[in-house]
Each structure stands twice: as structure tokens, then as C-alpha cells.
Structure 1
């Protein structure tokens, strides 16, 4: 019975990946990095309405020991760790670690700080969905 369930699950996963890959041509390898309706602290994802929307993409490098300082975002922010391990302290919620190859949706309107506690650079790829002159981050 367990083998039958495993076979069915494997088949469903294969079909799902094949259907998704058919949306593009060629031999692209598609890896879903985030598929969620909530951010890193469980807040429901919401997109602000802007008259003049703007997308900003950044590559951010943290040398060993460097931190962002306490800040918050009033816009959706999506991060992918290209290198190293980032520790994020979230005011009133503890901390989380994000290792190389992981991605996360940052908290909204909640102060937090990212710190490189390792011995090598941490490099992030970050996408901000803003507009109407909204700053990317607000310092505490």
C-alpha cells in the first residue's frame, strides 16, 4: 500500500512539473523558490495600490559582521540568498536563519535586522515592489 501511495505521489509531482515546464520552450530548468500566501512571520501577503508602481531589484553584499540595522518595509520585499547565511532578528518574534539557496518573503511593517554572523560575505538578491515615492526601507 505504501509503495502504491509513493508511486501515485511521484506521478503527480512529475505531471505538475511537466505541465509547468510546458509553459516555456526549450530545456529550461524551472525551480519554484517561493509559493506562499504569507510572509516570513505569517502575515498575509498584500500588494499596495500605487498610482506609479515601481520594481527595484538589488544585489546586497554583507561583509562578515555587517548588519542592516533595525528597519521595516511598507512594501512587499522578496529575498534570495545567493551566498552565505543571513540571520534575521525580528522585533518581538525571535530570529531566523536563511542559508545559501533559500528564499523568503520579508516581514511587513515590522522592525527587523539582517546580520552576517559568518566569516565570509553574505550576498542577497532582493526584489522590492513599491511606487509613488515609497522608500524601500524605514530605519528605526
Structure 2
């Protein structure tokens, strides 16, 4: 993915989330910047990887998971970034470990790794999710477990 595409994704995240990040960019007075997350690894320590493509495509989606519901086991072959708008999400990994994310936290999703998101709270989990893929390529793959 080109530097321009990555920059566009960051700007889109800022606009949608309304939460600024500390980047060293210059803004006019009245603009506040707050870092939500800055990392070189996913939540499980896996190094981040950008895909190489000549046909980049960004998909932004609001995902809602009902109380007690789950995403089902799946994986992403593309980089995926999310922000928890509401609720508490527990992400189970194929190796038996788990990560928990709450309202106001950003998620760098694992790539090419089996995982299952479970709403462990009493209210719906709402996520804004950015998939940085390629035209015609799937954003996730369902797995049988």
C-alpha cells in the first residue's frame, strides 16, 4: 500500500472518530490532538504488515454485535483497524489466549490469525472498522472450528 493510501486511512480515522492523534502535523487554533493508539504490533504482539497491491481499496463499516453474540471464527488477510464505540468485546485467539477491548479503545486486528469476537457485556458492541484491502479481495474469511 502506498504512503498516500496509508495517510488517507489515518485522516479518515481522524474524521470519523472525531479523536485527533498526535502526529506533529500543524493545525489551526481550536483543533485538539489526542493519540488513541500508536503501535507497530497487533494486540497479540504480531508485527503489523501492509499488503502490496496496485488496486488498494479501503472499506469503512460500523459493526454491531448483540449481547452474548459472537462474530464466529474468522481471519483477515488484509490489515484491519477498529475503534470501540460502545460495549466490551473479548477476542479469543486460536492459541487459547484472549484480548479484551472496551469503549474508547482502538484495535489493531490480528492478520492471518484465527480469532472470534464475543460480546461479553449487557449492551451491544459497536465498532467502526477500517479494512485496508484490494479491489475484489475478501475482507475476512469464515473458518470452521
TM-score, normalisation: structure 2: 0.79
- What are the Cα deviations for residues 56-87 of structure 1, in whole angstroms up to 9, with x where unaligned? 11111111111100000001000110001101
User: Does residue 55 of structure 2 align to residue 44 of structure 1?
Assistant: no
Q: Which has the larger radius of gyration?
A: 1
Task: Provide the residue aligned with 1:35 in structure 2.
Answer: 38
Distance 1:127 1:32 in 2: 17
- The answer for unaligned runs of 5 or more in structure 2 is 1-21
- The answer for unaligned runs of 5 or more in structure 1 is 1-16
Structure 1 residue 93 displacement after superposition: 4.4
Task: Provide the residue aligned with 2:66 in structure 1.
Answer: 63
TM-score, normalisation: structure 1: 0.82
Distance 2:70 2:27 in 1: 39
Task: Provide the residue aligned with 1:5 in structure 2.
Answer: none
Work out the number of aligned pairs and report it.
122
Trace 1:1-140 onto structure 2 (pairs within 5 A).
Answer: 20=24, 23-140=26-143
